[in-house]
Structure 1
Amino acid sequence: MTRLAPLALRFLALGIMATSLGGCSLFGMNFAFNRMSEKECMMRAMYFESNRSSSEGMLAVGTVVMNRLGDPRYPKSVCEVVGQKNQFAQGVLTKPMTDSGAILASQVADQVLRGQRHPGVQNAQHFHTAGLRFPYNNMFYVLEAGGNEFYEKRTVR
């Protein structure tokens, strides 16, 4: 082994550590995802998806996460639900939370994880930005809150 090999291994180890600390992916593995608490994943979903708008908007997003968690078609943990590809805002588990909205998200996450739900969300497992409309007849809207419209997908007869 040459003298460069140990140096190269050190740089590789440092690169892996830096990547995992930054929440990035290395070889398709997301190291940050595996070390986040359920509360942090919930906070991040509410923070980024509600546009830090209000406790009502955050509670509604948290209710959707929990509705999905209770459905066998979705993953079995808060972090897996929030991290599911193409379901929540891009970077929801990796972007920094940079303003006071994180404090509110923390408080509301505690409430959601203790069982509080937004009654207006009902059984909705989906939402999108308020003001948008799609031509699908299986979308039953139940609530507008926090800049989002929440809806249930129902079978059309």
Structure 2
Amino acid sequence: MSTAASAILRLAALAIVATSLGGCSFLGANFAMNRMSEKECMMRAMYFESNRSSAEGMLAVGTVVMNRVDDPRYPQSVCGVVGQKNQFADGVLVRPMTDSGAVLAAQVADQVLRGSRHPGVQNAQHFHTAGLRFPYNNMFYVLEAGGNEFYEKRSVR
């Protein structure tokens, strides 16, 4: 085998190993999402979106994820919902969870996947950082928790 062919094989092997360890995309395939459990996807959404603020904030985020899973307009799995482009924090499925918030996220994820919901979230499928305001009149706010404001989109009459 030539030196160039050997170098190409080494680079290809390194790329495959790096993407499988980091959960990144390689040639358009998202290896991270394909190998993550529903619990891990839920944990990651709650961890990154609630800023590890509280169990209440994590439960509220988890409730939004499940509200979307239950709606036919969205993917029918937790990982599908969390992995949707431009819907959750950048890198939510690939960034490392580095502090004790991951332990709390695991506990709350178990509760959500067993059916627990934050009653204040109601049917909300959306949230944004608390304190921001947008000029849309179809946003009906239902709860502030974990540094986020949760809202339903409703038709304006």
- TM-score bracket for this pair, using the shorter chain length: over 0.9
- In structure 2, the residue matched to 1:29 is 29
Matched positions, count: 157
Q: Is 18-27 or 42-51 further displaced after alignment?
A: 18-27
- In structure 2, the residue matched to 1:90 is 90
1: CA distance, partners of 2:92 / 2:4: 39
2: CA distance, partners of 1:3 / 1:123: 60
- In structure 1, the residue matched to 2:147 is 147
- In structure 1, the residue matched to 2:77 is 77
**SS of the residue aligned with 2:141?**
strand
- The alignment's TM-score, normalised by the length of structure 1, stands at 0.96
- The residue type equivalent to 2:70 in the other structure is G
**Root mean square deviation of aligned Cα:** 1.1
CA deviations on 1:6-61 (whole Å, 9 max, x unpaired) are: 45223312321211211111122211111000000000000000010000000000
- The residue type equivalent to 1:104 in the other structure is L
Contact 1:20 1:30 in 2 (8 A): no
2: CA distance, partners of 1:18 / 1:49: 26
- The alignment's TM-score, normalised by the length of structure 2, stands at 0.96
- In structure 1, the residue matched to 2:47 is 47
Query: Structure 1: any 5+ residue segments left out of the alignment?
Result: none
- In structure 1, the residue matched to 2:68 is 68
Q: Is 46-55 or 8-17 further displaced after alignment?
A: 8-17
Q: Is 26-35 or 138-147 further displaced after alignment?
A: 26-35
- In structure 2, the residue matched to 1:105 is 105
2: CA distance, partners of 1:98 / 1:3: 40
Identity of aligned residues (%): 83
- The residue type equivalent to 2:22 in the other structure is G
- The residue type equivalent to 1:24 in the other structure is C
- The residue type equivalent to 1:105 in the other structure is A
2: CA distance, partners of 1:15 / 1:86: 25
2: CA distance, partners of 1:34 / 1:17: 15
